[in-house]
Amino acid sequence: MLHEPSVELGVDYASKRKTRLGIILFFIYAAIYAVFVFIGLVYTDLLGVHAIGKVNLAIVYGMGLIILAGVMGFVYSWVCTRMEDEMERRAKQ
């Protein structure tokens, strides 16, 4: 039985722009996470403050980080798809 790739891969014209976007999003997330860690190390009592109802800041901030990671993933995918389509269209002209 012959196994071949199901999709023929071509040149990725947008790889540099996608890499730059990924690095930018990484540093944005890392900065927000660093603030969370800083608060946890220096102002530990602050994480116990009730932020929303009876839910403390640690839970709200932590869940916010998880949601932010998902949103950033979707944004990265959407922007990269648009970049790939645009660069491929330019390359074919």
Nearest to 91 by CA among 12, 21, 7: 12
What pLDDT, on the 0 to 100 scale, is given for residue 82? 93
Whole-angstrom distance, CA of residue 22 vs CA of residue 76:
7
pLDDT tens digits, 1-44: 667 777 777 777 788 999 999 999 999 999 999 999 999 999 99
83: left (phi over 0), alpha (psi -120 to 50) or beta: alpha
Whole-angstrom distance, CA of residue 59 vs CA of residue 92:
50
User: How large is the average pLDDT for residues 46-75?
Assistant: 95
